[in-house]
Homo-oligomer: A and B are copies of this chain.
Amino acid sequence: MRRTKFDEWPCPIARTADLIGDWWTPLVLRDLFFGLRKFDQIQDELGIPRAVLAQRLDRLVTEGMVEKRQYEERPPRYEYRLTAKGRDFFGVLAAMWRWGEDWLFDESGAPMVLKDRETGRVIRPLVVDQETGEPIDVRTLRMGRAPSR
């Protein structure tokens, strides 16, 4: 069954959901963020079927989030790297991390944390209003028409 596509909807959440809804995709991105670059590495790490990984990487390349680069001629070998658009997606993964950490584990908590690479300090992502630095509170928000520019 062909699923409904959201990628032309006017809502930014809908468009992003269209992409994230390709299950595996957030996990492929996570692996790229944490330094994996080769098809076989990602395939090993996730235990993802090869055909599915190929399709997800192709979509990320088509979306302009990932660049496929040949790094060896004979035999031809490729690596995958995040573009600026792909790197910027980390905010979404960080928000997913935080909510998952807070709500999807039992009292002993998640076995993994985000840490500062140098100091080892545990980092907790938080979504704020960029202007005030206050946590986002949906009760104070509404969706509205963009100001004309």
Q: Which of A24, A48, A138 has the most CB of B within 10 A?
A: A138
Contacts of A67 in B (CB 8 A): none
Which of A36-44, A73-81, A114-122 contacts its partner? A114-122
B23 near A104 with CB under 8 A, answer: no
Would you call the interface of chain A mostly helix, strand, loop, or mixed?
mixed
Contacts of A68 in B (CB 8 A): none
A12 near B141 with CB under 8 A, answer: no
A residues adjacent to B (C-beta < 8 A): 3-4, 6-7, 10-18, 20-24, 26-27, 30, 33-34, 47-48, 85, 87-105, 108-118, 120-131, 133, 136, 138-147, 149
Can you report 30 A-B residue pairs in the complex whose CB atoms are below 8 A from each other?
A3-B23, A4-B23, A4-B48, A12-B98, A12-B99, A13-B27, A14-B27, A14-B30, A16-B99, A17-B20, A18-B23, A20-B21, A85-B103, A88-B102, A88-B103, A90-B138, A91-B126, A94-B127, A95-B96, A113-B145, A116-B140, A116-B141, A117-B139, A117-B142, A120-B144, A121-B131, A122-B147, A125-B128, A126-B127, A128-B128
A133 near B143 with CB under 8 A, answer: no
